Amino acid sequence: MSEHRDRAIGEIREQLSDLDLDWSEAVPGLFSVRLPGTRKLITECALEVGVHSMNLRAFVARNPDENHAGVYRWLLERNLKLPGICFALDALGDIYLTGRMPVELVTRAAVDRLLGAVAETADDSFNVILELGFAESIRKEWAWRRSRGESTANLAAFTHLDPGEPHLGPVEPDLERDDRPKR
């Protein structure tokens, strides 16, 4: 193992501990981190420290159902504005954020900046990706939930895709119903 790799692993461990995030280290130098968000509630992020570089990979969304060209164009345009990370696709078409830096440059501050960029970008991009790549599925979800009397509260960001009643907003769950969870 290299001296630079060992130092980088130590920097990452210290920073993850200080950030009070849910993280684990499966083997020395392979970290899994759960980044909290508001739109995308959790972003799973992997940091892998090799001999020469640290690689970062975070899952953002599955392969879009529709409008691939529109989604990919938006991702590429967004890449121009991202600090140290970029959107990428895997062989299945799933969307990730990725980054790479030489192990010599890995510091606690650099790890903090990268994780912050991933958390912010995944959260800020999530609803846009859903709207561009899953609009028809969202419309169907609105209709299905209404037909069953289910809550539409978590579809509030997509009221403009509601095929039903004209934008009445999210339906709150009926707390008087007998089928609500018992405590």
Q: How are strands ordered across the β-sheet holding 22-27?
A: 22-27, 30-36, 42-49, 53-61, 95-102, 86-89
Other CB atoms within a 10 A radius of the CB of residue 37 amount to 15
Specify whether 94 is located in the same domain as 158: no
Evaluate if residue 147 carries a pLDDT over 50. yes
The 10s digit of each residue's pLDDT in 61-109 is 999 999 999 999 999 999 999 999 999 999 999 999 999 999 999 999 9
Predicted confidence at residue 1, as pLDDT, reads 54
Task: Tell whether 166 and 86 lie within a shared domain.
Answer: no
Does the residue 177 lie in any domain? no
Residues 165 and 112 in one domain: no
Domains in the chain: how many in total?
2
Q: Answer yes or no: is pLDDT of 183 > 50.
A: no
Residue 75 domain boundaries: 3-133
Q: Write down the pLDDT at residue 129.
A: 97
Say if residue 55 is in the same domain as residue 35: yes
Residue 87: which CATH number? 3.30.1460.10
Residue 172: pLDDT over 70: no
